[in-house]
A and B are shown apart, each in its own frame.
Chain A
């Protein structure tokens, strides 16, 4: 997969490295700012409120 990617990229080695760095940066940006925040709402359910179990979360009595 990565070998194929390396072969597909044009130019001499340093150009390919440059392109790869840009690609990695783009992927990291997508992950950190979009993918991970979206995933975290399912992965790490954290409740910080107090509420009676019977009341719907977010609308505690009293």
Chain B
């Protein structure tokens, strides 16, 4: 008897009639399953895939910007920069750093290069630290009113640590002495990483001309990178400080040694 029923059922299933109606419940079920899959996909995108996509875009934009500057320089100086002589590995050329005018909001003015974050790391930097105009769309933002690269005082930057390409994703992996290089149309400003600090989100003292020191005139050029901490959270900020080392002008005809890959 049971066998007969199941045979019947199988037969009915096998001979699926083309007129079978799609049931409402069936459609609702499928919509729900699809929604669930999309939500899971979103999580995957948010945590891994999105940063790969954005990160690659950022690096491509930064590299492009850097190439534009190089071409621009070659056009302006057709005499051709002295090709680095292999026989004479001379002292790396440095110069007093030119101080740029502060960029307008969302105006790209520099490319960040940190060998510790990878050889292809080249993230564009623009004025302002709003998410909508700079951090989400361009990469690294410059706190308005803080110093410019090479200028005594605090060159303060912010960027995402997760999502939107996460330019400062590996900020906690910096080691003392790591190069933080800011490339502009003029050349390369090399900073050396000194220390990390974790602060509350309202501790604007990290942006002072001498970070964390009230009413002290700055004689040194500092760089300050801020990002979120812990990752994917807003409860604290992670801050990385660096000290200015030297400026390598484009006329040097070679990349600064600080850009060499680190082990």
B163 smallest CB distance to A (angstroms): 6
A59 contacts partner chain B, Cβ-Cβ < 8 Å: yes
B204 contacts partner chain A, Cβ-Cβ < 8 Å: yes
B232→A46 contact, CB < 8 A = yes
B136→A41 contact, CB < 8 A = yes
Given A36-B46, A36-B50, A44-B163, the answer on whether A3 and B208 have CB atoms closer than 8 Å is no
Q: Which one of A2, A31, A48, A50 contacts B207 once the chains associate, using CB atoms below 8 Å?
A: A50
Q: What total of chain A residues lie within 8 Å of the partner, measured CB to CB?
A: 31
Q: Which one of A33, A41, A51 contacts B204 once the chains associate, using CB atoms below 8 Å?
A: A51
Task: Report chain A residues within 8 Å CB of B159.
Answer: 48
B144 contacts partner chain A, Cβ-Cβ < 8 Å: yes
Task: Report chain A residues within 8 Å CB of B246.
Answer: none
Task: Report chain A residues within 8 Å CB of B2.
Answer: none
Cα distance A13–B53 when bound, in Å? Answer: 34
A42 smallest CB distance to B (angstroms): 12
B204→A45 contact, CB < 8 A = no
- Chain A interface secondary structure, helix, strand, loop or mixed? loop
B26→A50 contact, CB < 8 A = no
Within 8 A of A (CB), among B244-263: none
Task: Report chain A residues within 8 Å CB of B31.
Answer: 1
Task: Report chain B residues within 8 Å CB of A1.
Answer: 22, 26-27, 30-31
Contact mask A10-54 → B, CB, 8 Å, 1/0? Answer: 000000000000000000100111001101110111111111110
B22→A44 contact, CB < 8 A = no
B127 smallest CB distance to A (angstroms): 11
Q: Which one of A33, A48, A62 contacts B168 once the chains associate, using CB atoms below 8 Å?
A: A48
B128→A52 contact, CB < 8 A = no
Interface-forming stretch among B37-45, B65-73, B84-92, B180-188?
A: B37-45
Across the A-B interface, the 3 shortest Cβ-Cβ residue pairs? A58-B130, A1-B30, A49-B158
